[in-house]
Amino acid sequence: METVEIYRKSAMIAEKFKENVEKELDYLQREVESVKTWQEYYKTAGLQGQASLYEQKAKNLRRKILLIKKGVPYPRVSNDQMEVLNSVFNKCEPAEEFSFHSMPPEVVEAYLDAKEYREAGIFDSIEVAYYDDDPIMFGKSICKSTGNELRRLIARWGDGLKPWEWFVNHYLNEKHARIAPLRHTISLFIASLFLIVSYFLLPAPEAFDAVKPFLLSLGVGFLAVSAWSLIARFKAKKSYSRSVNTPIPSPFIA
């Protein structure tokens, strides 16, 4: 049986602030109407630059109205949580183009609600990430100054949704698999030492003149690779240990 989870919290305005909020919303709505009038005026005059300027002003006002009325009710997905999810979800595309699974009506409604945030410029896009099962819908924002991405959870659905622990275990197993076996690094290190020592121990006759530099270069190369492998292994192991010892909380809190 298909399970659907919608991640949206209702905004609550304290009773003592309601009057002020209503006044602010009324003022902003009048501002929107005024800006629209000016936008049409400039558009009729053929001044597209000015019309675009006022279109942006109207968008900013609509965003402000939306935030006052509803806030941003979608839970934020942290970078750590996103890293865990990305270890599983290997495909991602705009919600409008998603065709891998059918969307239940509840998810369609959640998408339509989220569209309001995209139209107001709070979300840059609405995406669906998926693999073989359990699609998940995000609202994505991109910081224009830094390029950093921020995702908020909108919905997920599937036949028996997998718990967060399943995603974490998959992530940890994948991390553990990246830790290269130490024996390979040690073997490479021994080979590099053997080649370097051979350079110094080979006799001096001219017959070895062409071979010795090659052995030295190969030995130094092997030594560099073994050192790099050791550093990479240390970093992978440290990252794995940190992930094991510092649990990542679940973003799936409806």
pLDDT of residue 176: 77
| Local confidence band at 143 (pLDDT 50, 70, 90 cut-offs) | confident
Q: Is the pLDDT of residue 134 over 60?
A: yes
Picking from 76, 86, 68, 87, the residue whose alpha carbon sits closest to that of residue 8 is 76
| Local confidence band at 146 (pLDDT 50, 70, 90 cut-offs) | confident
Q: Half-sphere exposure (CA, 13 Å, Cβ side) for 56? A: 5
pLDDT of residue 209: 64
pTM equals: 0.72
pLDDT average, residue stretch 106-127: 93
Mean pLDDT for the chain?
A: 84
Q: Is the pLDDT of residue 48 over 70?
A: yes
What are the pLDDT digits (tens) for 173-210? Answer: 888 777 667 777 777 778 777 777 777 776 655 555 66
| Local confidence band at 240 (pLDDT 50, 70, 90 cut-offs) | low
pLDDT of residue 198: 73
Picking from 149, 162, 122, the residue whose alpha carbon sits closest to that of residue 252 is 162
Cβ count near 251 (within 10 Å): 21
Cβ count near 6 (within 10 Å): 18
Q: Quick one: what percent of the chain has pLDDT higher than 70?
A: 86
| Local confidence band at 141 (pLDDT 50, 70, 90 cut-offs) | very high
What are the pLDDT digits (tens) for 147-175? Answer: 889 999 999 998 888 889 999 888 888 88
Residue 109 tokens read as 């409604």
| 158 touches 104 (CB < 8 A) | no
* pLDDT: which is higher, 85 or 242: 85
Q: List, as one string, the DSSP characters of 58-120.
A: HHHHHHHHHHHHH---SPEEPHHHHHHHHTT--EEEEGGG--SSPPPHHHHHHHHHHHHHHHT
pLDDT average, residue stretch 75-91: 90
